[in-house]
Structure 1
């Protein structure tokens, strides 16, 4: 995926969590959950380190697993305690944000699949239906194929973008 869908999911979760909070808190939650939704792709550093794509720590490997999402959720719960906010809620939304990444990547039509069940299995999995085009890596995004992927992802995730960015109602003034 081209990350547009991952960011849309993160921003939607941030909007949900912020509820009627201040604009600053809304933006903070959107940035936090978007960063978490993108976190699994930090594994692209494996290419620079000479780790093969198909290795457990290669791209779409361990960081795309539900176990990795659970570890990040536990970390978020610790952060929530420090910030004095509801840890279980933040943990659950963090799990959804990070866990959605591998699940969405399994919906793409290319690559090797995602290691969703790591460390129980190194198998790379795809969903039975794969409606999302796989994004070219790096400079390849600046091509007709890259533009196609961006447009498709934007359209598929339009409901998330709409929910995340729709103007909020202002509270009615108190009498």
Structure 2
């Protein structure tokens, strides 16, 4: 799939939104990718995950023991990546504000983990999830994501393989352009606090 093919999938799912959005990082944007919408079609989710899995370097792909994703946004794409790679797919939750494995999920000491996210902007959630995996005894050897919104700037401490990189401008809440400041802000993501 080309970048145009991937964006066509988002448009077809009505997942590319325009307005004034509060991102999970607290920053603001005039565009938002609602990955839940693009992933609600199981066949589309499978196509996107298969394409993303095919972009993993062979040396990384051959070492992965398990796929882990943070809930909520990463659960579906993480599951589909597990399917594409023929591996178990676990997810982390934040019942008390910090990521942890629950529901009987466990990582064996030293297991090599592929972290999978839907969208990465600042990398904060990814770094928190990577730490949770390390605390559970695993080693994240790479991260894959549907979308890199960081402008190629994010540093997760591991190789990062996005399906597509999008450079939508993001703004601090106190430094909005006039046209964005004139529109009421909404928070479409899954995290309650910015």
More strand by share: 2
Q: Is TM > 0.5 for Structure 1 vs Structure 2?
A: no
Aligning the two structures, in what range does the TM-score lie when normalised by the shorter sequence?
under 0.3
TM-score by length of 1: 0.26
More helix by share: 1
Larger Rg: 1
